[in-house]
Amino acid sequence: MDYNNDILIEYFNDVTEDTRYIRETVFVLEQGFTEEFDEIDKKSIHILIKINNKRAATARIFKSDSDNKWTVGRFAVLKEYRGKGLGSYLMQKVEEKIKEQGGMIAELSAQKQAEKFYSSLGYIPMGDIYYDQHAPHIHMEKKL
């Protein structure tokens, strides 16, 4: 897939119809999470990737309590786009946006099943495994 020609990246200050659809599909329908949308959505930058004008992936970022740290969350790629490098591409765009905002560290709460993916992008696991709803997670960080 040619990510330079077929792709559109959009940024929003709140959940949109497209980002809602992706998150509901991945987290609610596929994974069974129930508390998907929260007050953090209103203080986040939402990133949407479309391929050939079709919604494909999303994530949100928001400033953490620390001065130079940003939190990455709700990172989701629709099933039909997985395994094609889109997740890595999305994270590249997420990190670029964090740096653009003055952030120097990206942190995230990774589902244990996705830890290897985030590790491959330079994220380091920190602390113990904990549960968010029904799924094991681990805190990870990366210096940008």
On whether the CB atoms of residues 30 and 79 are closer than 8 A, the answer is: yes
- Model's pTM, two decimal places? 0.92
Hey, what are 27's tokens? 């987290």
Q: What is the pLDDT of residues 7-16, one digit of tens each?
A: 999 999 999 9
Count the domains in the chain.
1
The b-or-e profile of 123-143 (16+ CB within 10 A means b, else e) is: beeeeeeeeeeeeebbbbbbe
Q: Please report whether residue 144 resides in a domain.
A: no
Residue 49 resides in a domain: yes
Q: Rounded to whole angstroms, what are the CA distances from 95 to 20, 40, 59, 112?
A: 21, 19, 11, 21
Q: What's the rounded Cα separation, in Å, for the pair 125 and 109?
A: 9
Does any domain span residue 121?
no
Q: What is the pLDDT of residue 35?
A: 85
List pLDDT tens digits, range 52-94: 999 999 999 999 987 789 999 999 999 999 999 999 999 999 9
Range of the domain at 45: 7-104
Q: Which of 133 and 26 is assigned the larger pLDDT?
A: 26
Does residue 51 sit within a domain?
A: yes
Residue 47 lies in a domain: yes
pLDDT at position 1 is 54
Query: Average pLDDT in the 103-116 region?
Result: 95
Could you tell me the pLDDT band of residue 4, with boundaries at 50, 70 and 90? low
- Asked if residue 91 belongs to a domain, the reply is yes
Residue 57 is assigned to a structural domain of this protein? yes
Average pLDDT of span 8-34 = 95
Task: Report if residue 119 sits inside a domain.
Answer: no
CATH code at position 82: 3.40.630.30
Q: Which helix (H) or strand (E) holds 120?
A: helix 115-120
